[in-house]
Structure formats: structure tokens, C-alpha cells
Structure 1
Amino acid sequence: MYRDSNTRTLLKTVTWRITATATTTILVFLFTGAIDTAIQVGLLELLAKMLFYYLHERGWDKIKWGKEEVPAFVLWITGIPCSGKTTLATMIKEELSKEKLRVQHLDSHDVRPLFPETGFTREEVNNHIKRVGHLASMLEKNGIITIASFVSPYRESRTFVRKLCQNYVEVHLDTTAEVARRYDHNGFYKKVDEGIYKNVPGVDVEYEICENTEYTLDMTEKNLEEAKQEIMQVIKSRYIK
């Protein structure tokens, strides 16, 4: 997903040649005792080898042999509110970033405010997830690994997103509202109890499980670190060889 730009290659050429030429100049001086000769040889070598090194680097950059391609993919993390989706997605993004990969995290907390008129009826939620799915698929087509963390409770919209993406992995964080309440640090379920939030999956709306979900993690028994390790193993076995 990354390649050296011409400018980067040129900078590498210059810094390496300064180091190498200084070494050559010192060695010539030690053998001949003539500082003028040492400087002349050093300058000649500097110019000649900078040119050849630059051509060598650009030539290798055009050769595909030995390069390991990591295909872009969409990792869709779904589950009821406060099941750990955002935190888990952030952890996975950090792991993938260590591999020097281009990764984008799409999260409901960041995306939904862009569409403030969107409500929480079944139709509105489905349309919202479809919009996000289009964005995720576009990022994937442009070579960017995309991690999406959304409740996305309905089969219809998740199936729609799956069909849009070329490489799609769906992970369902399976838990109960009772367990999710333990990880609710923002008072979400308090507002549910007060009747402020309605149409909440796992409370007054069913979360629809898909039969073709790639991985279902039982979050009543696992912690987020264990979940991260499992998902990273899946990603590495599929995409990062």
C-alpha cells in the first residue's frame, strides 16, 4: 500500500552517499596521505554513485517481485450498544498501523453527527448504515483498510454493505444488555431507562443475527484484549501473510 516517492528516494540517495563518501575520502587520505587527492576521489565517487543509486532504487521500485501485497478489506464490527465495538475497533486499528498499513476507522460516534436529521426508526437506521457502507466500500477500493463499528442491528443493511465490499469480514460482539450496562460509561442505558432513547437494539428492538456472519464473539465470556487477539489472527490468516 506504500511506495517511495521520487523525493524520498532522492533524499535516501543523498544521505547514504554523504555517509559513504566521507568513508571513502578518509580511507583514501589514510592510504595516500594526500588530502587533495582524497577530496577529488570523494567528490567523483559522490556524483557517480548518487546517480547509479538513484537509478537502482527507481528500477527496483518498478519490479513487483518480492513485494507483499496486502489487500484492502472492510472489517465490520456490530453489536448492541456498549458491547465494546468502538474500543475494539480502536485497538485493532492500532495493531494494523504498527504494520505500516493504511487504516481508517469509521465509528457511529463520528459519522452520525454528520447526518443530524437521521433518527432511529428501522428505515432511518437502515439508510444510515447503507450510506456508511458506500463510504467503506469506496475506501476499500482506494486501497484503505476500513474498520467500521456500528450497532447496525438489521440484516437488510448489513447484507447490503456486504454486497458492496470486495473483502468483507463481519464480527458480531454477542452480549446482553445487562452485561453491556457494565461498560456504559456515558450514561446511555440510564437515558434508555428514563425513556429518552427509544428503539434500542437489545432492549425494545430485536438485534437481528445474520447466519453468514463470519465471527461471533461471546462478550459475556471474553474481554476486549482476547477479542482483539482472535480478530487479529483472522486478519493475518486472510490478508497479511
Structure 2
Amino acid sequence: MTIEATSKAFAIWLTGLPASGKSTIAAALKPKLEEIGPVEVLESDAVRRMLTPHPTYSVAERDLFYRSLAFMGARLVAHGVTVIFDATGNRRAYRDFARSLIPQFIEVAVECPLELAMQRDYKGTYQRGQQGESSTVPGLQDPYEAPAHPEVAIDATALSANDAARKVLEVVKEKLAQRGIVWVIFA
């Protein structure tokens, strides 16, 4: 599968602990990115419900899930759709695999202390982990491997979702300019 270098489409992977703010940033990014073309948010919980309706979150299942997610994203980008991965992707290998499939790839580290993520957790992920109902919560029982060299690092304690989105958009603008595509970002 080859992705045309002149295409405006690319992929952004928002990675961070569960409840770090990835979905909120994705929601702020999407309408701005739609100014240059179609955008699809691949939200891991929604995709997982389709691929593994009764998830176990085992290593083998996660490996398959994240490879499938990366493949879906690569297919969309190949067809001119910009993709926002809204997914923890707790292992670097998952994100590196996506990068290997999608040359126009931007990794965004959403940095958030575990304590703050636990306070923000409206889904109850950490609570289930602490109560023993789940044994594979990234950041608790399962390691979260932060990106070694993300294109963008977002301090979730200091930036609003809109400010975080603006920071990502500046990198997008630079990457597009490298490909000869000029994009004026409107406030």
C-alpha cells in the first residue's frame, strides 16, 4: 500500500493514559482539520466494540486490535481521509507499527499525571482496576510506554483542549508546508 506524498491526508495519534484528555483534544481538532479535507476519528473504545465485543484486554488481543486500528487508519489516509487516532496505544510498538504504515504520521503525547487522569476518569476504568475487576489498566497494572520522540507533547495540566489543538495544528501546518501545501489556519 502506498500513500501519495501530495495528498493532504495524514494521521495524528493522540496517545496518553486513559482519561488524559485525548478525546477532548480530538473533538477540538476535528473541525479545524475538516477545513482541508475529510477527517475520521478512530476512537479506540468505539472500534473495539466492533472488533472485540467482549474484550479481555489480553496482550494478544491488544496486539491484534492495535494492528487492526493502524491498518484501518492507513487505508483511510491512502484514500485521502485524515485520521485522528484517539487511542491509548499503551505500547510504543503499536504506534510505531502505525507510523510504519503511514508516512504522514504525527504522534502526540498527551502528558497527564496518573492522579489527575484518575480524577478525570468518568468511565470508571481506574476504579475497576483498583477494585480488581480489571487487571490490565494502562498506568496501573499494565505499563504505559510514553512516546520516545513525539512530534508534539501536550501538558494536559497546563493547556486547554483548544490550546492543545492549536499546538498540534501548528505541526500539521509545518508538515503540510514540507509537502508544498499551504494551509492558513483560522482562529
- TM-score interval (norm. to shorter): 0.7 to 0.9
Counterparts of 1:117 and 1:185 in 2: how far apart (Å)?
20
More helix by share: 1
Deviation at 1:218, TM superposition (A): 2.0
Residue pair 2:12, 2:85 contacting (<8 A) in 1 also:
yes
Runs in 1 of length 4+ with deviation above 6 angstroms? none
**Normalising by the residue count of structure 1, what TM-score does the alignment of the two structures yield?**
0.67
Q: State whether structure 2 residue 151 is matched by structure 1 residue 151.
A: no
Conserved? CA contact 1:108–1:149, under 8 Å: yes
Alignment partner of 2:108 out of 166, 171, 176: 171
Equivalent position of 2:40 in the other structure: 104
Q: Give, in angstroms, the shift of residue 100 of structure 1.
A: 5.0
1:194 maps to 131
Describe the SS at the equivalent of 2:95.
Answer: helix
C-alpha distance after superposition, 1:60-101 (max 9, x if no partner):
xxxxxxxxx76210111111100111111111001122x151
Once the two structures are superposed, what CA deviation does each residue of 1:179-205 show, in whole Å capped at 9, x if it has no partner? Answer: 112322233322222221221111122
Question: 1-side partners of 2:171 and 2:36: how far apart?
Answer: 18
Where does residue 150 of structure 2 map in the other structure?
Answer: 213
Letter in 2 for 1:140: V
Q: CA deviation at 1:209?
A: 2.3
Q: Is the 8 A contact 1:80 1:201 kept in 2?
A: yes
Q: State which structure, 1 or 2, has the greater radius of gyration over its C-alpha atoms.
A: 1
Query: 2:98 corresponds to which residue?
Result: 161
Equivalent pairs counted in the alignment come to 172
* Letter paired with 1:148: F
Q: Secondary structure at the match of 1:204?
A: coil
What secondary structure is seen at the aligned counterpart in 1 of 2:74?
helix
Query: What is the alpha-carbon distance in structure 1 between the residues aligned to residue 12 and residue 85 of structure 2?
Result: 6
Tell me: CA distance 1:118–1:186, structure 2 relative to 1, closer, same or farther (3 Å).
closer
**Distance in 1 (alpha carbons) for counterparts of 2:20 and 2:135:** 18
Structure 1, unpaired ranges of 5+: 1-68
**Identical aligned residues as a percent:** 28
2:67 to 130, 139, 154: 130
Instruction: Return the letter of the residue paired with 1:232.
Output: L
1:222 has 2:156 as partner: no
Task: Say whether the 8 Å CA contact 1:169–1:214 is kept in structure 2.
Answer: yes
Corresponding residue for 1:60? none
Q: Which range is displaced more, 73-82 or 181-190?
A: 181-190
- RMSD between aligned residues: 1.7
- Equivalent of 1:139, from 76, 89, 97? 76
CA–CA separation in structure 2 for the residues paired with 1:100 and 1:152: 27
SS of aligned partner of 1:152: coil
* Residue identity opposite 1:175 in structure 2: C
Structure 2: give runs of 5+ residues left out of the alignment: 1-5, 183-187
CA contact (8 A) 2:125 2:137 kept: no
Q: Does 2:56 match 1:119? A: yes
State the secondary structure of the residue aligned to 2:157: coil
Secondary structure in 2 matching 1:237: helix
Q: Bigger shift: 229-238 or 106-115?
A: 229-238
